[in-house]
Amino acid sequence: MKGWVWEIRERESDCCLHSDCTCARTTGTSKYKCGQKIQYFLKHEHRLKLSVTKIYEILSEKYVIRPDWQKNKVRGPIPKASMPREVVQMDSIDFGALYAFTGVDIFTREADILIAPELTARFGREFLYQSMGRRFNGHVQLIQTDGGPEFKAEFLEDVSFFCDRHRTARPYRKNEQSYIESFNRTVRKECLGWQKYRREQIGYCQGLVEEFLKRYHYHRPHLYLLVPVVRAQVQSECKHISLNMSPPLSK
């Protein structure tokens, strides 16, 4: 009996081990959950009737049964900021053969951009060093990113140098990255647009974003009064940070 249960589990490889996960396979008009699916094949192939509870008991002797609710990490409430350098959100924008790495302090709205030829963690780390060195005073309490590959590997190796905590935003939650997503829309509307760029245009695009950042920080109405005052406060409270930060050379 146990051998039949295990054999069906191995044969039906799309049958996962989340106790309340719905399998992709359908029979007739009904979708079979993992235990119910095995129950179905036991009945029709071996004329054996077992309860779903018993099937999971047998599966647990050979497999680790993990409840579906455990698949996501507990990440806590969405971070809010009441002072400068408390929370920085980072993201990326696709421009065809080029990508823009973006970051914003959600309290002051100060921001930075790096144009890169690849959406990789190596350039994610390069942006980390650039933005923290020239814009965010070298250290913040929390850096939040999405779960994209550009914010893993090399980026994760070094992110702890610049923040007390790194948080990965929950996917498909519209308010998780609202500040950086709003800034990304501004970059498209006021700077690079919605067109695709070629790899050889990287210098041209970086020049455009540098001019945009000057206008964004010093001339846009919503930042005209706020940023100079906040920046003076930040500079008086923070230790001197070298603006020549650069990531270690890639191997």
The reply to whether 160 falls in a domain is yes
Does one domain contain both 111 and 229? yes
- 181 or 20, which is more confident? 181
Lookup: tokens for 226:
């706020």
The mean pLDDT of 29-56, rounded to a whole number, is: 76
Pick the range with the lowest mean pLDDT from 43-57, 85-99, 110-124, 218-232.
Answer: 218-232
Mean per-residue pLDDT over the chain, rounded: 79
* 49-58 CB contacts, 8 Å cutoff, 24+ apart: 50/1, 50/5, 55/5, 56/19, 58/1, 58/2, 58/5, 58/6
Q: Are residues 184 and 101 in the same domain?
A: yes
Mean pLDDT value across residues 178-201: 94
74-83, 106-115, 166-175, 210-219: which is most confident: 106-115
Q: How far apart are CA 21 and CA 241, in angstroms?
A: 50
Region 203-216 average pLDDT: 95
> Bigger pLDDT: 50 or 101?
101
Domain stop point among 18, 37, 71: 71
Could you list the residue range(s) of the whole structural domain that residue 95 is in?
Answer: 87-237
Residue 171 pLDDT class (50, 70, 90 cuts): confident
Are 54 and 94 in a shared domain? no
Using the 3D structure, point to which of 71, 102, 129 is the last residue of a domain: 71
Residue reference for tokens 């009064």: 225
Model pLDDT, residue 64: 63
229 with 106, same domain: the answer is yes
Same domain, 142 and 102: yes
Q: Which residues pair with 104 in a beta bridge?
A: 89, 111
Together in a domain, 19 and 61: yes
Q: Provide the domain count of the chain.
A: 2
Asked whether residue 21 is assigned to any structural domain, the reply reads yes
Task: Write the DSSP string, 124-185.
Answer: HHHHHHHHHHHTSTT-EEEEEE-S-GGGSTHHHHHHTTTEEEEEEPPTT-TTTTHHHHHHHH
234 vs 124, more confident: 124
pLDDT score recorded for residue 72: 53
Task: Give pTM, 2 decimals.
Answer: 0.64
Is 242 inside a domain boundary? no
Residue 29 and residue 91 in one domain = no
